[in-house]
Amino acid sequence: MTTNEPPFDPYRKWLGIPPEEQPPNYYRLLGIPLFEGDPDVIINAADRQIGHVRRFQAGKYADACQRILNELAAARVCLLDPVRKREYDQRLFFELQRRGVPLPLPVAQPLPQEPSFAGPGAENLITSFSSPEMPASQPAVGIPAERVPVTVLLRRRRRDIWKDPAVALGLGVLFLLVCVLAILVIFRKELLGM
């Protein structure tokens, strides 16, 4: 072994990520397109990369292997959580934009929230973000929010109300009251009939 050998680069050797793309963003680390939003694609890519890198756990680069496995797990967790993914995508978008990398607009994932009754056309609003490099007075990059009709939001809310423990408890108490009243009515008729 000569002393002129470059240091071992696990990103390049194991994942095919060249030095100029290091450190890789989560999408590059998983080998998927920027701003990929399909959870199945993210899960399968993470499983594939983790399975591949695990083959090197027992080798002489076990420490590098564990570090990359941790990064892959962090990428998976972040990209599968809608809130964290949105924050990560926003930071990544502005970072790539600052470096002049041409890229597509990311598709925003809607945050779970209560329906808004802001009036007609409220579902067509565009969410804007500002970056530290861009003053708030200038229009920031618009990331279109998913269009969801108000009727769909109301249906979702109706479905979600049954998951609330207070609603279940209230219905249980109401059911018990109806049963007690029914029993009292039946026994009262029997007592009066005798």
What angle, rounded to 10 degrees, do the helices at 39-54 and 62-80 form? 170
The pLDDT, as a whole number, for residue 104 is 65
Tokens of 187: 């026994």
The pLDDT, as a whole number, for residue 139 is 41
Q: Got the DSSP string for 16-72?
A: ---GGG-SPPHHHHHT--TT---HHHHHHHHHHHHHHHHTTTTSTTHHHHHHHHHHH
Q: Is residue 1 helix, strand or coil?
A: coil
Sign of CA dihedral 88, 89, 93, 99: positive
Tokens of 55: 């083959």
The pLDDT, as a whole number, for residue 153 is 52
144 Cβ partners below 8 Å, 6+ apart? Answer: 105, 107, 108, 126, 127
What's the whole-model pTM score? 0.52
Token pair 């009292």 in the structure block, residue? 184
The pLDDT, as a whole number, for residue 76 is 94
Q: Is residue 142 helix, strand or coil?
A: strand
The pLDDT, as a whole number, for residue 128 is 43
Spatial distance between the Cα atoms of 130 and 110, rounded to a whole number of angstroms: 18
The pLDDT, as a whole number, for residue 38 is 92
What dihedral angle (degrees, nearest 10) is formed by the CA atoms of 67, 70, 20, 143? -160
Query: What ranges do the domains of the chain cover?
Result: 10-109, 162-194
The pLDDT, as a whole number, for residue 184 is 87
Tens of each residue's pLDDT in the chain, 194 residues: 556 778 989 999 999 999 888 898 999 999 999 889 899 999 999 999 999 999 988 888 889 999 999 999 999 999 999 999 999 999 998 888 888 877 665 555 566 665 555 555 544 444 444 444 444 444 444 444 455 555 555 555 555 565 677 777 888 899 999 999 888 888 887 777 65
